[in-house]
Amino acid sequence: MDFYDTAGSAPCRSVIMTAKALGLNLNKKPMNLMAGEHMKPEYLKLNPQHTIPTLVDNGFPLWESRAIMVYLAEKYGKDDTLKCPKRKAVINQCDPELYKKIESAFDLLNTFLEGHKYVAGDALTLPDLSILATASTFEVAGFDFSKYANMAKWHANVKKSAPGADENWEGCL
């Protein structure tokens, strides 16, 4: 199995630990996001969302760490240790609730940004820097900002213009 990852990524590390727990060997293919390797056509064919991590199992590409972890446990788990239905139910009931909270926060931010270039108006402020750090973490985790048009536009702008944005990005990896 080919596993496209990046050093330091918590989602990538969670998949690696899952594979180890299942006795699986991953053919790691480190991606240099700063060099844009995740935007190359050959990678985009595997993962059009260009997120990390991505697993390719016998030609089947899959991204999003939790989806990969569940897939590996269900396909390769030799016993029920990692795929116990009761444990899975508890996990599944928690994840959607947390995801709803994230979506709610991004929806509020999207509203805040209506008609503004930055969070507090038309100039970069501390909230922009704070929110950029959080949003970048979610970007690395594969969160789709596209349904939040104002936020997606803000995020693209602040990623390029904020002082230290490159260091912020490196810290996410």
CATH of 2-76, one of 3.40.50.460, 3.30.70.100, 3.40.30.10, 3.40.50.720: 3.40.30.10
Regarding pTM above 0.85, the answer is no
**Ranges of each domain in the chain:** 2-76, 85-172
The CATH architecture one would assign to domain 85-172 is: Up-down Bundle (1.20)
Mean pLDDT confidence for 105-128: 87
Sheet strands (E) in the chain:
2-5, 27-30, 54-57, 60-63
Q: Which candidate, 60, 50, 82, places its Cα nearest to that of 2? A: 60
Q: DSSP letter string over 133-159?
A: HHHHHHHHTT---TT-HHHHHHHHHHH
Domains 2-76 and 85-172 share a fold: no
Question: Does the bond joining 53 to the residue before it have cis omega, within 30 degrees of 0?
Answer: yes
Of the listed 9, 104, 130, 136, which one is catalytic?
Answer: 9
C-alpha R_g of the chain: 18
Q: What is the pLDDT of residues 2-50, one digit of tens each?
A: 999 997 777 788 788 788 878 899 999 999 999 999 999 999 999 988 9
Q: What is the pLDDT of residues 52-100, one digit of tens each?
A: 999 999 999 999 887 888 888 888 887 665 555 665 555 555 566 667 7
Asked about 9 being catalytic, the answer comes back as yes
